[in-house]
Amino acid sequence: YTLDIDSTTLANGTHTLSAVAYDAAGNAGVSPTVNFSVNNVTADTTAPSVSTSVTGTGGTIAFAAEASDNTGVTRVDFLVDNVAKGSDSSGPYTLALDSTTLSNAGHTLLAKAYDAAGNVGTSASVSFAVNNTTITPAVDNTVVIAQLTLRLDSMDATLATMSTRNSKVKSLKADVAIQRDLVQQIK
C-alpha cells in the first residue's frame, strides 16, 4: 500500500506517520512510527525595494541607489530617460556618468533592482538637469618668429615669417621706398 501526501497541507518541521491495517475480522495492526520532515520552500515573489539619487549637473554625474531584498539583491541597473546607462552588482550601488553623453536639458533617472528569483523592483523617478558649459578657447595673438627672411627685389620687399606655435607660414608683402643712402648703411 502507498499513500501520497500533499506536503503543502502540513507545516514545515518534523512529523510522524504510522499505518493501521485491518483484517476481515476487524482486527487492527499498527506499524511502527516513522519520522519525516517537511521543508516546503516558499517561492520568492517579493521584489527588491530601491531608491536612487543624483549628484552633479556637469562633468561627471554620480548616480547612487539603495536597494534591499528578503533574499538579497543581485544587481541594480541605472536608466536615464528609460535608457540603460550601466549597472552595479555590489553595494553600495553607484554609477558615474560623463555628462557630455547627455543633452543640456532635464532628464529622469530610475533604478531597477533584481534578486536571484528574477523579481524586479523599480525606484521612483528622480529629475535632474544637465548643464555642460561650453568653453571657448582663448585666442593667443602672440606671434613667435622662428625665421625671418627679408628679400629685396627692385623696390618691393617681402617679409616671410613662420610661427612655431601654429606651424603656419605667413607672408607680408609691402611696397617700400628705400633711400639709396639707407641701403649704403645696411651694407
| 3-state class (DSSP) for residue 181 | helix
61 and 24 part of one domain: no
32 and 65 part of one domain: no
Share of the chain above pLDDT 90, in %: 64
Cβ-proximal residues to 43 (8 Å cutoff; 6+ apart), any chain: 117
165 domain residue, yes or no: yes
Cα gap 150→98, rounded to integer Å: 52
64 domain residue, yes or no: yes
Cα gap 94→168, rounded to integer Å: 48
What average pLDDT does range 115-140 have in this prediction? Answer: 88
Count the domains in the chain: 3
Confidence at residue 1, expressed as pLDDT on a 0 to 100 scale = 85
81 has pLDDT over 90: yes
136 domain residue, yes or no: no
2 domain residue, yes or no: no
59 and 97 part of one domain: yes
Higher pLDDT, 166 or 98: 98
- Answer yes or no: are the C-beta atoms of 159 and 148 closer than 8 Å: yes
| 3-state class (DSSP) for residue 9 | helix
Q: For the domain that residue 113 is a member of, what is the CATH number? A: 2.60.40.10
65 and 104 part of one domain: yes
Confidence at residue 58, expressed as pLDDT on a 0 to 100 scale = 86
68 and 122 part of one domain: yes
The pLDDT-based confidence of 177 (bands split at 50, 70, 90) is low
138 domain residue, yes or no: no
Q: Which domain holds residue 165?
A: 145-186
For residue 17, what is the DSSP state?
Answer: E
124 and 174 part of one domain: no
34 and 61 part of one domain: no
8 has pLDDT over 70: yes
39 has pLDDT over 80: yes
The pLDDT-based confidence of 155 (bands split at 50, 70, 90) is low
Confidence at residue 134, expressed as pLDDT on a 0 to 100 scale = 76
100 domain residue, yes or no: yes
* CA–centroid distance for 142 within its chain: 43
Confidence at residue 151, expressed as pLDDT on a 0 to 100 scale = 55
135 domain residue, yes or no: no
User: Mean pLDDT across the chain, nearest whole number?
Assistant: 83
First to last CA, the chain: 132
* CA–centroid distance for 32 within its chain: 64
What average pLDDT does range 12-20 have in this prediction? Answer: 95
57 and 32 part of one domain: no
44 domain residue, yes or no: no
158 has pLDDT over 80: no
79 and 99 part of one domain: yes
54 and 34 part of one domain: no
What average pLDDT does range 66-81 have in this prediction? Answer: 97
